[in-house]
Structure formats: C-alpha cells, structure tokens
C-alpha cells in the first residue's frame, strides 16, 4: 500500500450537477507519481485535440502531489491542468494556499471538473459532500469579495479557488486565485473556469494523511532549519537582473531600468512591509505584506508585489512609483488577471502608441506613454471588463500584432501566445531555450537559467552547453512539480533528485531513487511534448520574436550582442537531441514504446 495518496479523484460533472469518485490505478500512481506527471496522463486520456479551450468539453483539473498536506517543506502547492485559452495547448499552472492540503484532507488526490453549468455556480466540497450553489449574486464581483463571502459564510479556514471579472469575461490570461493573493496566473486557467460558469470552488476536509515515516520527515525538516532562516524574497531579484541587464524595460527594448533601484526594488518594498506571510506548511515564508503609507494610494494593503510584477508592471512600463505598481498588482489580483501577461500587453500597446501605430482615437483618449501609471491602472480595469480599448488589449499580444500588422510582430514579445516573463533572454541565452520549448509558452518556472548564468559562473552569451544545462534544470524543476514542492524553496534548500526521493519515500513508503525520479521526469516531459504535438504544435511554434533574436540590447553586459537565428536554432536542436526527440522535436517511436504510453491503463471518467 502507498501512504500519502488517497488514490481517488473527485469527478464533478457541472452539466448534470452530479459527482462521483474515480480510483487511480496504483500502476499509474507509481509511474507518474503526482502533480505534473499525473496531470499529463489525465490530459492525454481526457482532453482530445479537437476540444475548444473555452468550450464545454474542456476539462478543468485541480491536482495535488503525494506530499501535499504533509509537513514536507514547501508542500502547500496545488496545480491546475487544462487546455490553455492563451496557447490552445497544454496548460499547467501552480499556486499555493490551503487548496492542496484541503483536497487531501477531504479525501482526494485531485478534482476533475467537466462540462458547463447552466447558470453561474459555486462548488462547495465538504469532505464527501459536494454542493452546487447559485453564484448569480457573486457573478461580476471581484475575486476578493467572493472569497471573503465564503470565509464569512462557510468556513473561515477553507481552501478557495476563485475567479474575478476577467475570468468571467474569458480573458485569455485570467488567473485563478487562492488565499486572496496567491494566483495560478499564467495561461488563462481563470477563463476556463469562467467558460464553465464556475465562480469559485470551496474545499474543506477534516480527514488526515498517513505517512510511511513521519519522524523521518520531521527530522529532515529540522536538518534544513538553518536554510529556512535566510528568507529569500523575490523583490531582491530586481537589482540583480538590473545589474545583469536582464530586466525588461520599455517592452523589452532595454535591459536596464536604473530608476528601479531604490524605487521598486527590495529596499523600497521592505520599506512598506508590515508583516511576513507564508504559504500553507512553508517553514520559510517569503511573502511580504505591504501597505502604502502616503499619496493617492494611501492605505492600500496587499501581499506582494513580487519580482515579476515589479518588473512587468514596473520596469517594462517604465513605472518607478512603487504604490502605483502595488495598485496595479492589487487590481490584477482582484480582477483575476495575470500580472506578467498584463505587463507584457500594456508594454506592447505603449510601444505601438509611442510609435504612432495606435492613435489616441483608438485608445479612446488614454495616453499610453511609458511611465503613465494612471493610464495603466485605468487600462487594467478596461481589459478585465472588455470595455473600450481594453477589449482590443484583452486578445493578448499575439492576436493584437496579427490584427495591427505593420511589422508589429517584431516586438510582440510572446511565444505560443504566452507573453514573456521578466528575464530578457538576450542577457542570458539559456532562457531562449526555456521560453521557446516550454509546453505552455514563454515561461520562467520550468527552468531558471539565470541561476547558472548569473550565479553559477556559466558564460551567458554563448550557445555552448546551454541545451544540456537547461534540460537538467528543467528536470530538477519537473520533479518538484511532480511531488508538488515549492520551486522557490526547493532550489534554495538544494533539493536534488536524491533528496526529493528521500522526501517522497518518507511519505509514501516506497523505494524511489534519484535515478528513478529523473527517469520519471523524462517520461513526463516527453508525454507533454506528445500532447502538444497532438494539439497541432510543431517546431514552427518553438520560436521567439524577432526583437529577441535579431536586435541587441543597448545597455548592460549584453549590450551589442545579437543572439541570431542560427544560434537559436542550434541550441533548440541540441535540446531536442538531449531529450531523445528527432530533429523536428518529435519524440521517436522507440522512445514512445520504451515509455509504454500506449500499453498502460487509460483513465476513464465513465
């Protein structure tokens, strides 16, 4: 018997308002372990390629890992798997809060939500009972108001997944919030919830989780206790990436924003900090509760802002006034939008506006010059409600560039329809691989090459060895996403494959080794690649915008250096080779047979 797991999924059919549990075959649990692994298996079996991401047949999954709900360091994370409205393919999005542990305490390894409700509803999951509550009253309200309603009327200490107006209006970068400020942000999972007429999912469980070696797990935590004390907080990244010439500025036209220093960096954020906050079961909480002291945004209080928000809604828009970034952050959280994509989109339209491609008539009077933070704040609200010029921006950068034409695709900074996060690949060439080949689109969480290119002594401006380095970094992240452990805390504790195996064995009582886990990551990555190929993606989609490949940065260590298409293609080809895929990035038949995808039991909902 495997400890840690519940071995069951809760399948909720919104169309008929019924629910039932489904057993997960133990062979599948053994092979895919949990989190991203199981998610890939479920996606492969349950979401056929012809399904529209915002259509009734898309499946919305909330999954946990084997260690969720235990004390394993950084285990408070859940994972949303669905078909992405932004890319039209594989989407995985992680967030934290009480959701994962409450799902486990309620007795499940995950929720699988199918079809569409006839009218707006809330799902209340209380152990083995599921209620379908009318959400008409909450529809149109902010994510915070909806969450507060349930904390006051159902249970103050529950797990919540809520969307804001952006999700209801099917914005392709709408996010799903939990514990107010935690967001499964990227790729538009919120729009999928909105398309199912699902405002919120509330979960409370009162059961427990058995572990194989509970004392082993506790001793392991105590062994790492020193590393918990040095709390890493993401705002400190601002000064690091600025020095490395990597912080996106003016829609990725520069790599340094010197105004950031002292204004929107760690010191500035810590100056407004009022408390430390932590995710569920985290021994090294890195969230900052901040409050604005003076000015027009006085008394605004939120958890954050984190690095990506500071860079994308700050530096990328040349906004150097921290309270304005905080206000934009708060609005995005409440409206239910991804701050990274929002920053990328506004950066793009600002560049178009300054170049005269978009006129003041088109923006309906909004003066979208870089640095105009009041316009940013106004535009965010318009986007979430698809009003005025916001309706145009709500399409995302890729679609906007298509409809504008005039060579705007050169500076439409996206890959697979997902806007870039805040590390310019020209200042560290490893990121060209992660941004192009990551299944969900441009993403910085599947691997973080700056870890070696800034801190690890690897020369940033070369193609040499990058593919292998990135692949290994990806596998290290993949295992954290399979278990699911925090990918901020894990690397800082230097949790390698062997350590992950130790944690996993303490919980489930199996005999996994680091090597076995590494093999699992290969199986999972290749399966996700197959999923995207089945969705119609090819090597033509593993590309980067022309600005990134053919223009050089004007400042910072990367100044004057051009990546060039040839170098990029070389790195990409090496990456495919490292994975054992063919030169078009397609997994070979040998590999498919070796990993036994087609001979294993299928997950079936009926």
Partner 1 sequence: MGKKVLSYRSENCTGCHLCELVCSSAKEGRFIPSHSRIRIVSNHLEGWSRPVVCLQCQDPMCMKICSVGAIYRTETSQGYPIVSVDQNKCIGCHQCVVACPFGAIEYVKEIKIIKCDLCNGSPLCVQFCFYDCLEFIELSDEEFQGRAKSIKAVTIKACREISKTEPYWRRVNISAEVSKINQKE
374 makes contact with partner 1 (CB under 8 A): no
Decide: 106 and 124 in contact? Cβ < 8 Å.
Answer: no
207 makes contact with partner 1 (CB under 8 A): yes
Q: Which of 221, 300, 516, 573 binds partner 1 (CB under 8 A)?
A: 221
423 makes contact with partner 1 (CB under 8 A): no
554 makes contact with partner 1 (CB under 8 A): no
148 makes contact with partner 1 (CB under 8 A): yes
Whole-number minimum distance, CB 31 to partner 1, in Å? 25
Whole-number minimum distance, CB 109 to partner 1, in Å? 15
Question: Would you give the distance in Å from CA 337 to the centre of its chain?
Answer: 12
> 164 vs 460, which CB is nearer to partner 1?
164
DSSP-derived secondary structure letter, 138: T
With a CB cutoff of 8 Å and minimum separation 6, the contacts of 238 are 247, 260, 261, 264, 265, 266, 307, 310, 311, 315
Decide: 567 and 463 in contact? Cβ < 8 Å.
Answer: yes
**20 three-state secondary structure:** strand
297 makes contact with partner 1 (CB under 8 A): no
2 makes contact with partner 1 (CB under 8 A): no
The Cα–Cα gap between 180 and 301 comes to 12
Q: Which of 212, 278, 559, 570 binds partner 1 (CB under 8 A)?
A: 278
Q: Which of 44, 180, 297, 537 binds partner 1 (CB under 8 A)?
A: 180
Which one of 221-229, 414-422, 535-543, 578-586 is the stretch in contact with partner 1 (CB under 8 A)?
221-229
> 209 vs 480, which CB is nearer to partner 1?
209
DSSP-derived secondary structure letter, 316: G
Which one of 275-283, 318-326, 463-471, 568-576 is the stretch in contact with partner 1 (CB under 8 A)?
275-283
Question: Of 369, 354, 332, which is closest to residue 411 (Cα–Cα)?
Answer: 354
Q: Which of 16, 50, 129, 157 binds partner 1 (CB under 8 A)?
A: 157
Whole-number minimum distance, CB 212 to partner 1, in Å? 11
The Cα–Cα gap between 169 and 137 comes to 16
Q: Which of 8, 30, 57, 277 binds partner 1 (CB under 8 A)?
A: 277
17: left (phi > 0), else alpha (psi -120 to 50), else beta? left
Which residues, 27 to 86, sit near partner 1 by CB under 8 A?
69-71
Q: Which of 20, 27, 118, 225 binds partner 1 (CB under 8 A)?
A: 225
- Copy the structure tokens of residue 425: 């690949």
**159-162 and 414-415 as β-strands: parallel, antiparallel, unpaired?**
unpaired
Q: Which of 274, 296, 374, 391 binds partner 1 (CB under 8 A)?
A: 274
The Cα–Cα gap between 265 and 276 comes to 17
> 82 vs 284, which CB is nearer to partner 1?
284
Count of CB atoms within 10 A of residue 381's CB? 15
User: What residues are paired with 249 via a beta bridge?
Assistant: 254
222 makes contact with partner 1 (CB under 8 A): yes
Whole-number minimum distance, CB 299 to partner 1, in Å? 12
Size of the site for partner 1 (CB under 8 A): 43
132 makes contact with partner 1 (CB under 8 A): no
Q: What are phi and psi of 142, to 5 degrees?
A: -65, 160
**77-83 and 90-96 as β-strands: parallel, antiparallel, unpaired?**
antiparallel
181 makes contact with partner 1 (CB under 8 A): yes
**182-184 and 90-96 as β-strands: parallel, antiparallel, unpaired?**
unpaired
**419 three-state secondary structure:** strand
The Cα–Cα gap between 58 and 54 comes to 7
The Cα–Cα gap between 347 and 251 comes to 5
154 makes contact with partner 1 (CB under 8 A): no
293 makes contact with partner 1 (CB under 8 A): no
> 68 vs 520, which CB is nearer to partner 1?
68
283 makes contact with partner 1 (CB under 8 A): yes
156 makes contact with partner 1 (CB under 8 A): yes
Which one of 33-41, 49-57, 203-211, 458-466 is the stretch in contact with partner 1 (CB under 8 A)?
203-211
> 14 vs 211, which CB is nearer to partner 1?
211
The Cα–Cα gap between 438 and 174 comes to 20
Q: Which of 7, 140, 285, 465 binds partner 1 (CB under 8 A)?
A: 285
Residue 529's Cβ-side half-sphere holds a number of Cα atoms within 13 Å equal to 24
**477 three-state secondary structure:** helix
Q: Which of 40, 46, 100, 209 binds partner 1 (CB under 8 A)?
A: 209
Q: What are phi and psi of 291, to 5 degrees?
A: -145, 135
355 makes contact with partner 1 (CB under 8 A): no
**257 three-state secondary structure:** coil
Which residues, 301 to 320, sit near partner 1 by CB under 8 A?
301, 303
Whole-number minimum distance, CB 9 to partner 1, in Å? 20
Whole-number minimum distance, CB 283 to partner 1, in Å? 4
The Cα–Cα gap between 189 and 211 comes to 32
List the 159-162 sheet strands across, edge first: 129-134, 121-126, 198-204, 159-162, 176-178, 182-184
From residue 231, give the alpha-carbon distance in Å to each of 101, 283, 475, 492. 23, 10, 25, 10
Decide: 524 and 481 in contact? Cβ < 8 Å.
Answer: no
Whole-number minimum distance, CB 79 to partner 1, in Å? 19
Whole-number minimum distance, CB 70 to partner 1, in Å? 5
300 makes contact with partner 1 (CB under 8 A): no
Which one of 206-214, 262-270, 459-467, 469-477 is the stretch in contact with partner 1 (CB under 8 A)?
206-214
Which one of 205-213, 259-267, 398-406, 560-568 is the stretch in contact with partner 1 (CB under 8 A)?
205-213
> 33 vs 281, which CB is nearer to partner 1?
281
Whole-number minimum distance, CB 206 to partner 1, in Å? 4
Alpha helix ranges (H) inside 367-496: 373-384, 389-393, 397-404, 430-437, 450-453, 466-483, 489-492
Whole-number minimum distance, CB 94 to partner 1, in Å? 18
289 makes contact with partner 1 (CB under 8 A): yes
> 155 vs 362, which CB is nearer to partner 1?
155
149 makes contact with partner 1 (CB under 8 A): no
**Residues binding partner 1 (CB under 8 A):** 69-71, 101, 105, 144, 147-148, 156-157, 179-181, 205-211, 214, 218, 221-222, 225, 228-229, 274-285, 287, 289, 301, 303
């Amino acid at each position: 018997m495997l400890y840690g797991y519940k071995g069951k999924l809760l399948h909720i059919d919104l169309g008929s308002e019924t629910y039932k549990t489904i057993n997960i075959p133990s062979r599948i649990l053994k092979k895919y372990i949990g989190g991203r692994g199981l998610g890939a298996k479920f996606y492969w079996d349950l979401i056929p390629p012809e399904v529209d991401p915002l259509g009734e047949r898309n499946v919305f999954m909330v999954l946990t890992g084997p260690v969720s709900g235990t004390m394993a360091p950084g285990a408070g994370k859940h994972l949303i798997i669905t078909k992405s409205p932004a890319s039209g393919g594989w989407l995985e999005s992680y967030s934290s809060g009480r959701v994962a542990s409450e799902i486990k305490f309620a007795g499940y390894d995950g929720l699988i939500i199918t079809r569409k409700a006839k009218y707006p509803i809330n799902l209340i999951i209380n152990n083995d009972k599921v209620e379908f509550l009318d959400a008409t009253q909450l529809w149109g309200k902010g994510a915070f108001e909806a969450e507060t309603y349930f904390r006051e009327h159902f249970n103050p200490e529950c797990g919540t997944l809520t969307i804001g107006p952006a999700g209801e209006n099917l914005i392709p970068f709408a996010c799903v919030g939990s514990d107010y400020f935690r967001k499964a942000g990227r790729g538009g999972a919120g729009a999928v919830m909105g398309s199912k007429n699902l405002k919120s999912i509330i979960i409370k469980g009162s059961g427990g989780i058995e572990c194989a070696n509970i004392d082993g797990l506790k001793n392991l935590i105590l062994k790492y206790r020193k590393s918990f004390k040095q709390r890493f907080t993401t705002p400190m990244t601002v000064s690091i990436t600025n020095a490395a010439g990597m912080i996106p500025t003016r829609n990725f036209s520069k790599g340094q924003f010197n105004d950031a220093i002292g204004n929107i960096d760690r010191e500035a954020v810590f100056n407004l900090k009022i408390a430390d906050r932590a995710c569920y079961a985290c021994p090294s909480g890195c969230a900052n509760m901040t409050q604005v002291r003076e000015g027009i945004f006085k008394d605004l209080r939120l958890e954050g802002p984190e690095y990506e928000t500071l860079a994308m809604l700050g530096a990328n828009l040349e906004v150097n006034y921290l309270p304005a970034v905080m206000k934009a952050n708060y609005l995005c959280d409440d409206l239910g939008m991804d701050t990274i994509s929002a920053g990328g989109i506004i950066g793009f339209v600002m560049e178009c506006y300054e170049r005269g491609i978009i006129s003041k008539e088109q923006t309906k009077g909004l003066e979208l010059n870089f640095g105009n933070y009041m316009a940013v704040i106004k535009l965010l609200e318009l986007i979430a409600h698809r009003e005025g010029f916001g309706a145009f921006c709500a399409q995302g950068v890729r679609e906007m560039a298509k409809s504008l034409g005039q060579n705007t695709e050169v500076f439409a900074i996206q890959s697979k329809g997902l806007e870039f996060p805040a590390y310019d690949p020209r200042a560290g060439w490893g990121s060209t691989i992660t941004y192009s080949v990551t299944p969900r689109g441009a993403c910085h969480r599947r691997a973080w090459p700056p870890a070696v290119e800034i801190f690890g002594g690897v020369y940033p401006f070369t193609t040499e060895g990058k593919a292998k380095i990135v692949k290994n970094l990806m596998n290290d992240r993949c295992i954290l996403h399979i278990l699911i452990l925090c990918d901020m805390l894990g690397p800082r504790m230097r949790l390698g494959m062997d350590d992950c195996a130790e944690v996993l064995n303490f919980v489930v009582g199996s005999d996994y080794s680091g090597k076995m886990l590494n093999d699992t990551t290969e199986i999972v990555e290749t399966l996700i690649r197959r999923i995207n190929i089945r969705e119609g993606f090819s090597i033509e989609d593993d590309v980067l915008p022309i600005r990134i490949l053919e223009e050089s940065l004007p400042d910072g260590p990367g100044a004057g250096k051009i990546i060039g298409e040839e170098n990029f293609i070389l790195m990409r080809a090496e990456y495919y080779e490292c994975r054992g895929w063919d030169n078009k990035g397609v997994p070979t038949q040998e590999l498919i047979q070796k990993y036994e995808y087609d001979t294993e039991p299928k997950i079936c909902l009926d």
